[in-house]
Chain A
């Protein structure tokens, strides 16, 4: 290819018979400059396209997520009849937690609409409240038993369909059969709204609850905690192992076949599809060693093996950047090889190693596929209390919710993406700051 003549320039010798070369060049300049501009434009277009994609992705996700941060609530006057809650008046917590709060809420709703009498209609009326509303009232009573016998104003969430209605996602002007709420329910809702009982509040549940079948009761906190335990296991295992491996390979390893195999291995492992690590986790950790499924322990082990190559490669680069004069000076004053490495080289390389580890951790935090393999995709309501409790992680929670038919879950999935991206941005910022703060030019 390099023997080929150079475009318009090199055709000059043949054409030049009888004409000065300068004229030939000048004649071809226009088209050459045009092609130069075109080429440049292609490059700019490619970059602009990538930036545009990024903008579109972020824009759609944030726009979808915004409604999830608010929740439509209803301010309801509930009479806490003592005969319903605690007929014997013992105020025993056991009795209080077993009482039929649903009935109290039903009564409260019926009081608002005395004309609703048929069973089906009353059920439709009560369906406007979230199934979690009873737990709100129960918690209220358990926290403060002195409220029993009073008429209190409680703020409970509406069910997700009416939340969507309030946010304009379900339109009242569509045909009744095409929407999830009936005309009657819309009428009741409008009456409640005109009485000022409907209120839009910040969705605190999103940040404090685990998963739920009802969107209005579902939150990301369970998966955030699951991610925390998983990342803890991952980093506790991966960081020391990776740093140890990097130190050995850079400083001690003799040049022989064995180290060569290790190096090729690490480079290849870095490019193995993540789902294969999931298969490894399933076959080795769960099936062979019998570790419990769906736990951050197994997830963390798998992610540790997966991030290991990334951290090793970054750590080796950091160690390589420490100039040999440091080592030689240490050896010159009588330090042993191990002393020169652990007292001088490693501390100097530490910021680089930490930066690499944070970037590796950020990768692991966003990883989904291998965790599906080890069962972290289960429906888990409880907040995990440790690495041996069944848990899920944020990316998997996003995956689960994005699969749900309810629009409200899609919104929550977007909100979870925003939170996850927030974490990733923070981690990368920390890495950048570390690099800026401690990077040394030798």
Chain B
């Protein structure tokens, strides 16, 4: 029985368990359900949980460990043929056996040994599935019988079912923590492997970045080739240009929306900003690469300036446009949170609107606005598609916005796109860059969130 069928059968059994449990609970009190501790439906759920949950866990565990067990059994069976092989060749061979067993194409002519191995593999899989079906269904039936037998008017079925529900909810909310742990562990683990090949000092302070060269023969994890400073400078340059666009425009837009705009302007401008925020970044990248960058280059050419067609200016500008709605919505929240009494106090002293905004509202809202800016910077640093499509590929240590620079995210993307071995320094470098990116954005986010929360508390 395939796993899917088995899961469907288990679901069906649980449903049957629900009805059996409910019926039995009603029968034990001869229909006077008020005598039951829990409602009949909870008895039903109780049986269903006992029937489905243990069997489901068994199936999941089985599916998780089955491939490894079959693999080691297969290697044992191959015996002499597999003994002298390198891990890669062995992996290839096992893949071939698997493909042969599945009836698809293989990379070489099947010989008798392979054929035998494939037959054995099929045999093992058949055995495994058979055992899983027997044990899974057996466990489900056992659970069902046990729970069904234990139904009793005084059984605290509701409390037990609710306990299961609460545990499930707790598991849901720990997924967020598990994700963070997963990110941190995978980044640290792969970066550690990278740093055994390249010294962390070289990586953080080296001035030259050319990971491609390190792949050529005779150069093993070349020193000085993984110096990430040009990437950091490029990232900061583009983020700086983006913030030069987004900060004044986003803040002014927010001020206008919060303090000046009448209903008509708001009804038009707010959705426009929301659409701008909802446009996928790949679309911004497309726009940057195909419209803005050539435009910047041609404008520069007509002024006698040599501007690269992958200039930091074009990528940074478009990124700034992308961040405007982000800055403006964060600032808008903060500005509207400033108590009305402060505005009225200022107006009462005779200040004009702009004086009130500049002298009263902005100083009061400053922490929140700064928090918003920090979040925006972290977004600009982590943004990928715009720079992948519109910024340069080669590392170029320069702060000239008219030249092509590359960024951390561009390098991560280019290092990992395409097929490559998982343990070359080139691939691992991407994880080291990812670690730096993660740490920087994390610190920015934590500071920003803390500032914003504290600010909110102040006025709430």
Partners in one complex: yes
Contact across chains for A40 and B422 when beta carbons are under 8 A apart: no
B217 at the binding interface (Cβ < 8 Å)? no
A275 at the binding interface (Cβ < 8 Å)? yes
B194 at the binding interface (Cβ < 8 Å)? no
The residue of chain A having its C-beta at the shortest distance from the C-beta of B452 within the complex is A267
Contact across chains for B441 and A272 when beta carbons are under 8 A apart: yes
Point out the residue from B179, B283, B363 that lies within 8 Å of A280, measured CB to CB: B179
Residues of B within 8 Å of A53, CB to CB, are 276, 321, 324
A420 at the binding interface (Cβ < 8 Å)? yes
Residues of B within 8 Å of A243, CB to CB, are 172
Contact across chains for A51 and B278 when beta carbons are under 8 A apart: no
B291 at the binding interface (Cβ < 8 Å)? yes
Residues of B within 8 Å of A280, CB to CB, are 179, 182-183, 186
| Given A248-B170, A279-B412, A308-B179, residue A377 in contact with residue B417 (CB < 8 A) | yes
Query: Once the chains are docked, how many angstroms separate the CA of A61 from the CA of B442?
Result: 35
| Given A47-B269, A273-B409, residue A248 in contact with residue B286 (CB < 8 A) | no
Contact across chains for B350 and A25 when beta carbons are under 8 A apart: yes
Q: Distance (Å) between the CB of B372 and the closest chain A CB?
A: 12
Residues of A within 8 Å of B275, CB to CB, are 54
Give the interface SS of chain B, mostly helix, strand, loop or mixed.
helix
Contact across chains for A366 and B383 when beta carbons are under 8 A apart: no
Contact across chains for B187 and A279 when beta carbons are under 8 A apart: yes
Q: Mark A244-262, 1 if CB is under 8 A from B, else 0.
A: 1101110011000000011
Residues of B within 8 Å of A240, CB to CB, are 172
Q: In B161-187, which residues have CB < 8 Å from any A CB? A: 162, 165-166, 168-177, 179-180, 182-183, 186-187
B102 at the binding interface (Cβ < 8 Å)? no
Query: Once the chains are docked, how many angstroms separate the CA of A410 from the CA of B278?
Result: 22
| Given A1-B363, A262-B173, residue A338 in contact with residue B286 (CB < 8 A) | no
Residues of B within 8 Å of A278, CB to CB, are 416
Q: Distance (Å) between the CB of B192 and the closest chain A CB?
A: 12
B106 at the binding interface (Cβ < 8 Å)? no
A373 at the binding interface (Cβ < 8 Å)? yes
Q: Distance (Å) between the CB of B273 and the closest chain A CB?
A: 6
Q: In A272-303, which residues have CB < 8 Å from any B CB? A: 272-280, 282-284, 287-288, 290
Query: Once the chains are docked, how many angstroms separate the CA of A272 from the CA of B441?
Result: 7
Q: Mark B266-302, 1 if CB is under 8 A from A, else 0.
A: 0011001101101111111111011100000000000
Q: In B365-380, which residues have CB < 8 Å from any A CB? A: 375, 378-379
Contact across chains for B381 and A273 when beta carbons are under 8 A apart: yes
Point out the residue from A32, A35, A308, A410 that lies within 8 Å of B290, measured CB to CB: A410
A50 at the binding interface (Cβ < 8 Å)? yes
Q: In B222-280, which residues have CB < 8 Å from any A CB? A: 248-253, 255-257, 259-261, 265, 268-269, 272-273, 275-276, 278-280
Residues of B within 8 Å of A4, CB to CB, are 359
- Which of B107-115, B118-126, B202-210, B431-439 forms part of the interface with chain A? B431-439
B190 at the binding interface (Cβ < 8 Å)? yes
A305 at the binding interface (Cβ < 8 Å)? yes
Question: How many residues on A have C-beta within 8 angstroms of the other chain's C-beta atoms?
Answer: 96
Query: Once the chains are docked, how many angstroms separate the CA of A80 from the CA of B449?
Result: 72
Residues of B within 8 Å of A368, CB to CB, are 280-282, 384-385
Query: Once the chains are docked, how many angstroms separate the CA of A276 from the CA of B173?
Result: 21
Bin chain B's interface residue count: 35 or more
A265 at the binding interface (Cβ < 8 Å)? yes
Contact across chains for B355 and A32 when beta carbons are under 8 A apart: yes
Query: Once the chains are docked, how many angstroms separate the CA of A276 from the CA of B171?
Result: 23
Contact across chains for A36 and B290 when beta carbons are under 8 A apart: no
Query: Once the chains are docked, how many angstroms separate the CA of A2 from the CA of B283?
Result: 44
Residues of A within 8 Å of B272, CB to CB, are 50-51, 54
| Given A50-B324, A395-B282, residue A245 in contact with residue B446 (CB < 8 A) | no
The residue of chain A having its C-beta at the shortest distance from the C-beta of B250 within the complex is A46
Contact across chains for A275 and B382 when beta carbons are under 8 A apart: yes
Q: Distance (Å) between the CB of B236 and the closest chain A CB?
A: 15
Residues of B within 8 Å of A414, CB to CB, are 286
Residues of B within 8 Å of A268, CB to CB, are 180, 442, 445-446, 449
A202 at the binding interface (Cβ < 8 Å)? no
Contact across chains for B350 and A276 when beta carbons are under 8 A apart: no
B389 at the binding interface (Cβ < 8 Å)? yes
A110 at the binding interface (Cβ < 8 Å)? no
The residue of chain B having its C-beta at the shortest distance from the C-beta of A10 within the complex is B349
A442 at the binding interface (Cβ < 8 Å)? no
Contact across chains for B442 and A43 when beta carbons are under 8 A apart: no
B353 at the binding interface (Cβ < 8 Å)? yes
Contact across chains for B186 and A42 when beta carbons are under 8 A apart: no
B354 at the binding interface (Cβ < 8 Å)? yes
Query: Once the chains are docked, how many angstroms separate the CA of A375 from the CA of B434?
Result: 17
Contact across chains for B359 and A6 when beta carbons are under 8 A apart: yes
Residues of B within 8 Å of A273, CB to CB, are 378-379, 381-384, 409, 437-438, 441
5 smallest CB-CB distances across A and B, nearest first, come from A273-B382, A366-B280, A43-B256, A244-B172, A283-B186
8 extra interchain contacts, Cβ-Cβ under 8 A, other than A248-B169, A273-B383, A402-B389? A36-B353, A50-B328, A56-B291, A264-B446, A274-B384, A280-B186, A372-B417, A402-B285
